[in-house]
Amino acid sequence: MRMKIHIDIDCFFVSAARIKEPELQHLPVAIGGRSDTKIFNNAAKNQTVNLENSGSFVPTFYKAYEEKDDDITAFKDPDGRIRGILTTSSYEARAYGVKTAMNIREALQLCPELIIKAPNMSLYQELSHTLHDFLARKIPLIEQASIDEFYGDLHGWVADEDVPAFIDNLRHEIKKEIKLPVSIGAAKTRYIAKLATTYAKPFGCKTIYPWDFDKFINPIKVEEFAGIGRSMQQKLNAAQIKTLGELRLRRGTLESWGPYAKELYKRVNGESDAEIKTQHQRKSIGISRTFDPLFDRKEIKRRIHILARHLSFAIYKLEVVPTVYHLSIAYEMNQKSHKNISLSELFTEQKFDALCIRMFHEADIHKRLHIIRLSINCSSFTRDSKKELSLIGFEEDKKMNRLTQETQKLRQKYGIDTIKFASEL
């Protein structure tokens, strides 16, 4: 039997803050977050790009941490309104009903003594790297799934009967060496190991052997299994399937729903697994910002220039050539629109900027509505898609590419805001 383990840092952002400020231990603490609209300010500085482990609540582009931000005032608008959501909260805060993604104002109503701290992405990345390096010395195959999640393969390394003692010792070593509390789940597949971690929290460990499997998994509600989203949960509930045990009895039903549901059944039943991948190649990259309702299309286009500049900087750092471009707009009154363009040409910042403006003009179909969000995404990199680049205008693109690379060097040294488009000013 091959045993996989799943390691999850407990309340990671809060745990990181407690390393920096030990006096926060045992207090209700939450980390706040809000869309960094200061990126559109002509005086904007100190923007940082992170190309590793970005995802939920871990943006690719963020404002570098400053001590003066680490206060509730950082989440107040000039009119005194408190804005933003919680990216995580401590278990002491959760006892009051405070939850991840909750509005900060609502959280403070539930827990008036809640301590709100600003996110410190640089610290999170540093601790995540430290933990990854530590785990790599302890386990032959380790995969980083996100900034605070890891998978390991113990096959041929730890005997099955020794797994509980191994993971218990591992969590205590991590707490001693890195000062981070982690929970660890172990099972035959990575999917069940991840589920086991949920039941090991906080700062615990849980091993699921085949003879424990039925007793463990059958009573669990379907929404607790990773990969079962709201729509699938509704579909399962409509079919009178509310627990994983009931799901396991309905193989025919799930297989009739198509390939995704068929694979989901196998994962829940412990039949499907995936290899531990020590490295992941990024498949796409994007940037988005939410802001107060804005009607002025001239100002909107200025903001698109700024987003395009930031995204271009990241694409050059990745050393890839995107071939699929996507721009989406969110309007007030819950209206949305988007535009996709495929383009197999050498990437240059100037061309990308013009392409983003073009996509905006074509996507902006609700011209009488205010806009509240802009998103730009690039994907299907040539290293993955195997697409050949067009030779039309190739030599001119090469010249512009060299110019952008020189610009890139200056931005790497002095900051993303060092050189801007004239249209941004």
Taking residues 135-156, report their average pLDDT. 92
Residue 45: is its pLDDT beyond 80?
Answer: no
Domain match, 134 and 100 both: no
Whether residue 276 is contained in a domain is answered as no
- Residue 271 CB contacts under 8 Å (≥ 6 apart), including other chains: none
Domain match, 231 and 327 both: no
Taking residues 327-344, report their average pLDDT. 94
Closest CA to 182 of 167, 192, 193: 167
Residue 204: is its pLDDT beyond 80?
Answer: yes
Residues belonging to the chain: 425
- Residue 406 CB contacts under 8 Å (≥ 6 apart), including other chains: none
Domain match, 49 and 152 both: no
* Sheet with 324-331: strands ordered across: 284-294, 371-379, 324-331, 336-342
Domain match, 146 and 252 both: yes
Domain boundary pick from 120, 145, 173: 120
Burial grade of 324 (CB within 10 A; 0-12, 13-18, 19 or more)? middle
Residue 416: is its pLDDT beyond 90?
Answer: no
Residue 55: is its pLDDT beyond 70?
Answer: no
Kindly indicate the confidence band of residue 384, based on its pLDDT and cuts at 50, 70 and 90: very low
Residue 319: is its pLDDT beyond 90?
Answer: no
CATH number where 368 lies: 3.30.1490.100
Q: What is the pLDDT of residue 210?
A: 94
Taking residues 34-52, report their average pLDDT. 65
Kindly indicate the confidence band of residue 63, based on its pLDDT and cuts at 50, 70 and 90: low
Domain match, 116 and 132 both: no
Domain match, 408 and 341 both: yes
Taking residues 29-45, report their average pLDDT. 71
Domain match, 149 and 252 both: yes
d(CA 186, CA 374): 41
Domain match, 294 and 253 both: no
Whether residue 277 is contained in a domain is answered as no
Domain match, 33 and 95 both: yes
More confident residue, 401 or 268: 268
Whether residue 279 is contained in a domain is answered as no
Taking residues 151-176, report their average pLDDT. 94
Whether residue 173 is contained in a domain is answered as yes
Q: What is the pLDDT of residues 72-114, one digit of tens each?
A: 777 777 777 888 889 999 999 999 999 988 999 999 999 999 9
Domain boundary pick from 207, 233, 268: 268
Residue 392: is its pLDDT beyond 60?
Answer: no
Structural domain boundaries, residue 249: 4-8+124-268
Domain match, 339 and 410 both: yes
Whether residue 418 is contained in a domain is answered as yes
More confident residue, 191 or 317: 191
Average pLDDT, the chain: 87
CATH number where 32 lies: 3.40.1170.60
Percentage above 70 pLDDT, the chain = 82
Whether residue 274 is contained in a domain is answered as no
**Beta-bridge mates of residue 243:** 221
C-alpha distances in Å from residue 400, one per residue of 323, 352, 394, 410, 421: 18, 11, 10, 16, 15
Least confident of 124-138, 176-190, 288-302, 379-393: 379-393
Q: What is the pLDDT of residue 65?
A: 61
Residue 385: is its pLDDT beyond 50?
Answer: no
Domain match, 128 and 261 both: yes
Whether residue 47 is contained in a domain is answered as yes
Q: What is the pLDDT of residue 386?
A: 47
Kindly indicate the confidence band of residue 383, based on its pLDDT and cuts at 50, 70 and 90: low
Taking residues 264-271, report their average pLDDT. 96
Whether residue 187 is contained in a domain is answered as yes
Domain match, 77 and 143 both: no
Q: What is the 3-state secondary structure (H, E, C) of 101-153?
A: CCEHHHHHHHCCCCEEECCCHHHHHHHHHHHHHHHHHHCCEEEEEECCEEEEE
Burial grade of 310 (CB within 10 A; 0-12, 13-18, 19 or more)? buried
Sign of the four-CA dihedral 188, 194, 196, 197? positive
Residue 36: is its pLDDT beyond 90?
Answer: no
CATH number where 245 lies: 3.30.70.270
Mode of pairing for the β-strands spanning 205-207 and 182-187: parallel
C-alpha distances in Å from residue 29, one per residue of 42, 268, 360, 415: 33, 34, 40, 32
d(CA 118, CA 145): 24
For the chain, give the longest Cα–Cα distance: 67
Domain boundary pick from 120, 141, 166: 120
User: Into how many domains does the chain fold?
Assistant: 3
Kindly indicate the confidence band of residue 2, based on its pLDDT and cuts at 50, 70 and 90: confident
d(CA 105, CA 118): 15
